[in-house]
Amino acid sequence: MDVLFEPLSYAFFNKGLIVATLSGALLGFIGVFIVLRGMSYIGHGLSHSIFGGFAASQLFAAQFYMLGAGLWGVASAIAITTVARKGRVGADAAIGVITTASFALGVALFAKFGTSGPSFENALFGSILGISIQQIIGLVAVSILAAVFVFLRYRALIFSTFDPDVADVSGVRVARLEAMLMIVLSLAILATLTVIGVTLVAAMLVIPAVIGRMLTDSFGKMLAWSTGIGMFCGFVGMYASYYAGVPSGTMIVLVGAAIFVIVLAITGSRGLRRSAGLDKHHDVAELAPVVTR
Amino acid sequence: MTGTGVGEILVRLDHVSARYDKQIVLDHVDFHVHEDQFTGIVGPSGAGKTTLLRLLLGTLKPVAGTLTTEPDLRVAYVPQLETVDWNFPITVFECVLMSRTHGRRLPWASAAERARVMSVLDRLGIADLAQRHIRELSGGQQQRMFLARALLREPQLLLLDEPTSGVDVSTRHDILHLLGDLHEDGVAIVLTTHDLNGMAAHLPHLVCVNKRIVADGPPAEVITPAVLEETFGARMEVLEHLGMLVVVDGAPEIRTEAM
């Protein structure tokens, strides 16, 4: 039991454990909608894009760098959607250009000017060091926002994820709902960036949701499984990170990957059949109906 | 040219043209949907059948002409089965309930909503499948599930895209009889189809479309070799069997071959 309690004597670990557990739950929760909409690539791109905002904001407004990075992420999400909707450039290309350019800018700014916040490596792969109370409050606030958003728009979210065209003619404002989901996604990535890391956030959006899909055929149960698995990955991964002495994000993702393998072994072909087609990419422009009424 | 229904007009298209990118898909179409309409839209692939449905739904804006819809019209739409993600994690009950987006916003169904969903499923004969995953249904059951989802909205106008595509003959008859019952209950119905024989036997009104409305009226007036050739660009023979019209495609051309 000492193995479990010994790290808890350190304040930094306690904060890290809370943030990692909550981050896993939040990403697992939002990840269900991202994966089922075939938007995994957008999650991946946005996390890289936010890294650029993270670096730039530290230079120009160090005290408000989280706010700056958040606005940068939301702006990137809107830019991707707008460029893709114009139809001249596909969503893949829009994400590829906008997010990698933003990421490259972040790397250049880090290299040239350094940082007053997390180190380059910590920003990329996550760290449990230096987590502030403000960050915990921010993460709790984003988690509550995400939960309230999904709770109040649950049926419309399922409808527009499953069948956007019919949802639109049935009175669901699909384009607006999608924009709100993108904003919640941006905020979730931003709030979890510190512990999970830029390069690994996308994995935590995908892995718990895919495992959840392998375990059930019900949307509500998949949401519960994915949130619980994300939470478990964050909790166990944080302990593993402490004892292995490696970045927290890597261990959280590795725990998720291990659970995936175990669930795959247990569910076999049924699990594979359930998760088939989850990697189908939906073009952003395709997701929105032609005209709303 | 208009639909031949009577009663109040729910949707009217006057001289409407529609296009995707720069390609005109429908050109100067006049089409009125009345409250007692029960119409099948037939035509070859790419003729503009689905485009006409999208115009009626309001998800496509005409590039010319006027589209007028009755205020607060309740429209429900049943998509093509081929376009559905059958691996999506929902049960039949969840699928039907999802259309209930107005009023109550809580994720779970109220007792009244649960009773209403089960009542619609029962009417369509699939109440015992409520907790099944949607992939586990047969083609006919899948079509009934989407009909249930549409009916939960208590529509005045029901639009269906290829409802008899990919189902066996018996299921096709069941679906068309079911639509007939709904029409009797006062729901206006417009559907697209490739199934000429099924439509000729079950529907009171047909519209032949190929970029424009080639002909419309009762099957006996519309199902003629001349209209079908103009619509489909291929020769078809029309036979009468036990009072029913039967279309035979690929009617042989009369040839004189040298021996």
For residue A68, what pLDDT band results from cuts at 50, 70 and 90?
Answer: confident
Residue B210 to residue A280: CA distance in whole angstroms: 33
Q: What is the DSSP string of chain A?
A: -HHHHGGGGSHHHHHHHHHHHHHHHHHHHHHHHHHHTT-HHHHHHHHHHHHHHHHHHHHH-GGGHHHHHHHHHHHHHHHHHHHHHHSSS-HHHHHHHHHHHHHHHHHHHHHHH--SSS-HHHHHH--STT--HHHHHHHHHHHHHHHHHHHHTHHHHHHHHH-HHHHHHTT--HHHHHHHHHHHHHHHHHHHHHHH-HHHHHHHHHHHHHHHHHH-S-HHHHHHHHHHHHHHHHHHHHHHHHHHTS-HHHHHHHHHHHHHHHHHHHHHHHHHHHHTTTTPPPPHHHHS-S---
Both tokens assigned to A169: 């003619």
Residues in chain B with CB shorter than 8 Å from the CB of A159 are: 98-99, 101
Residues in chain B with CB shorter than 8 Å from the CB of A36 are: 88-89
Distances A155 to A78, A267, B67, B82 between C-alpha atoms, Å: 24, 28, 30, 23
A156: left (phi over 0), alpha (psi -120 to 50) or beta: alpha
Residue B10 to residue B186: CA distance in whole angstroms: 13
Residues in chain A with CB shorter than 8 Å from the CB of B91 are: 217-218
Residues in chain A with CB shorter than 8 Å from the CB of B98 are: 155, 158-159, 162
Smallest CA-to-CA distance from B39 within B155, B252, B153, B190 is with B190
Q: Tell me if chain A has a CB within 8 Å of the CB of B105.
A: yes
For residue A228, what pLDDT band results from cuts at 50, 70 and 90?
Answer: very high
Average pLDDT value for chain A = 81
Average pLDDT value for chain B = 84
Higher pLDDT, A229 or A96: A229
Q: Is residue A87 exposed (0-12), middle (13-18) or buried (19+ Cβ within 10 Å)?
A: exposed
- The pLDDT of residue B131 is 92
Examine the pLDDT at A231 and tell me if it is beyond 80.
Answer: yes
The owner of tokens 């029960």 is B38
The owner of tokens 């489909």 is B232
Task: Name the amino acid, one letter, at B209.
Answer: V
- Judged by CB atoms closer than 8 Å, whether chains meet at A159 and B57 is answered as no
The owner of tokens 């050739």 is B229
Smallest CA-to-CA distance from A117 within A53, A65, A42, A158 is with A65
For residue A64, what pLDDT band results from cuts at 50, 70 and 90?
Answer: low
Examine the pLDDT at B86 and tell me if it is beyond 60.
Answer: yes
Look at strands B213-217 and B205-209 and give their pairing: antiparallel
Each residue of B99-136: pLDDT tens digit?
887 776 788 889 999 999 999 999 888 999 999 999 99
- The pLDDT of residue A279 is 54
Q: Is residue A218 exposed (0-12), middle (13-18) or buried (19+ Cβ within 10 Å)?
A: middle
Smallest CA-to-CA distance from A259 within A204, A221, A217 is with A204
Dihedral pair phi/psi, residue B181, rounded to 5°: -65, -40
Mean per-residue pLDDT for B48-54? 89
Residue A68 belongs to some domain of the structure: yes
Higher pLDDT, A208 or B249: A208
Smallest CA-to-CA distance from B87 within A280, A178, A166 is with A280
Q: Tell me if chain B has a CB within 8 Å of the CB of A166.
A: yes
- Judged by CB atoms closer than 8 Å, whether chains meet at B59 and A219 is answered as no
- Judged by CB atoms closer than 8 Å, whether chains meet at A163 and B84 is answered as yes
Mean per-residue pLDDT for B27-39? 90
Residue A25 to residue A32: CA distance in whole angstroms: 11
- The pLDDT of residue A26 is 96
Which residue is closest to A216 within chain B, CA to CA?
B89
For residue B96, what pLDDT band results from cuts at 50, 70 and 90?
Answer: very high
Write out chain B in H/E/C secondary structure: CCCCCCCCEEEEEEEEEEEECCEEEEEEEEEEEECCCEEEEECCCCCCHHHHHHHHHCCCCCCEEEEEECCCCCEEEECCHHHCCCCCCCEHHHHHHCCCCCCCCCCCCCHHHHHHHHHHHHHCCCHHHCCCEHHHCCHHHHHHHHHHHHHCCCCCEEEEECCCCCCCHHHHHHHHHHHHHHHHCCCEEEEEECCHHHHHHHCCEEEEECCCEEEEECHHHHCCHHHHHHHHCCCEEEEEECCEEEEEECCCCCCCCCC
- Judged by CB atoms closer than 8 Å, whether chains meet at A169 and B75 is answered as yes
Smallest CA-to-CA distance from A278 within A33, A6, A3 is with A33
- The pLDDT of residue B256 is 42
- Judged by CB atoms closer than 8 Å, whether chains meet at B59 and A36 is answered as no
Each residue of A248-285: pLDDT tens digit?
888 999 999 999 999 999 988 877 777 776 655 444 33
- The pLDDT of residue A277 is 63
Chain centroid, CA B156 distance in Å: 14
Distances B214 to B10, B66, B195, B254 between C-alpha atoms, Å: 22, 20, 17, 26
Residue A31 to residue B97: CA distance in whole angstroms: 23
- Judged by CB atoms closer than 8 Å, whether chains meet at B89 and A36 is answered as yes
Contact A275, A207 (CB under 8 A): no
Dihedral pair phi/psi, residue B18, rounded to 5°: -140, 150
Q: Tell me if chain A has a CB within 8 Å of the CB of B73.
A: no
- The pLDDT of residue B19 is 86
Each residue of A103-161: pLDDT tens digit?
888 888 877 877 666 666 777 777 777 778 888 898 999 999 999 999 999 999 999 99
Mean per-residue pLDDT for B227-251? 74
Q: Tell me if chain B has a CB within 8 Å of the CB of A291.
A: yes
Residues in chain A with CB shorter than 8 Å from the CB of B87 are: 273-274, 276-278
Mean per-residue pLDDT for A81-107? 73
- The pLDDT of residue A151 is 93
User: Which of A14-23, A71-80, A108-117, B109-118 bottoms out in mean pLDDT, i.e. has the lowest?
Assistant: A108-117
- The pLDDT of residue B2 is 44
Dihedral pair phi/psi, residue A82, rounded to 5°: -65, -50
Mean per-residue pLDDT for B21-41? 88
- The pLDDT of residue A247 is 84
- Judged by CB atoms closer than 8 Å, whether chains meet at B98 and A158 is answered as yes
- The pLDDT of residue B23 is 84
Mean per-residue pLDDT for B17-29? 86
Residue A293 belongs to some domain of the structure: no
- The pLDDT of residue A103 is 82
Higher pLDDT, A82 or A289: A82
Instruction: Give me the residues paired with residue B91 across strands.
Output: B133
Which residues have C-beta within 8 Å of that of residue B127, sequence separation ≥ 6?
Answer: B118, B121
Domains defined along chain B, listed by start: 1-74+155-217 (3.40.50.300), 83-154 (no CATH)
Mean per-residue pLDDT for A90-107? 78
Across the interface, which of B59, B87, B107 has its CB nearest the CB of A290? B59
Instruction: Give me the residues paired with residue B38 across strands.
Output: B189
Residue A251 belongs to some domain of the structure: yes
Contact A263, A275 (CB under 8 A): no
Q: Tell me if chain B has a CB within 8 Å of the CB of A88.
A: no
- Chain B interface, mutation test: which of A32, A149, A158, A170, most B Cβ atoms within 10 Å? A170
Which residue is closest to A35 within chain B, CA to CA?
B88
How many independent structural domains does chain A possess?
Answer: 1
Domain membership of residue A50 as a residue range: 2-285
Q: What CATH number does the domain containing A181 carry? A: 1.10.3470.10
- The pLDDT of residue B117 is 94
Residues in chain B with CB shorter than 8 Å from the CB of A156 are: 101
Residue A97 belongs to some domain of the structure: yes
User: Which of A13-22, A261-270, B177-186, B247-256 bottoms out in mean pLDDT, i.e. has the lowest?
Assistant: B247-256
Q: Which of residues 2-61 of B touch A (CB under 8 A)?
A: 54, 57-61
- The pLDDT of residue A285 is 39
Mean per-residue pLDDT for A178-187? 87
Residue A292 belongs to some domain of the structure: no
Mean per-residue pLDDT for A11-33? 92
- Judged by CB atoms closer than 8 Å, whether chains meet at A290 and B97 is answered as no
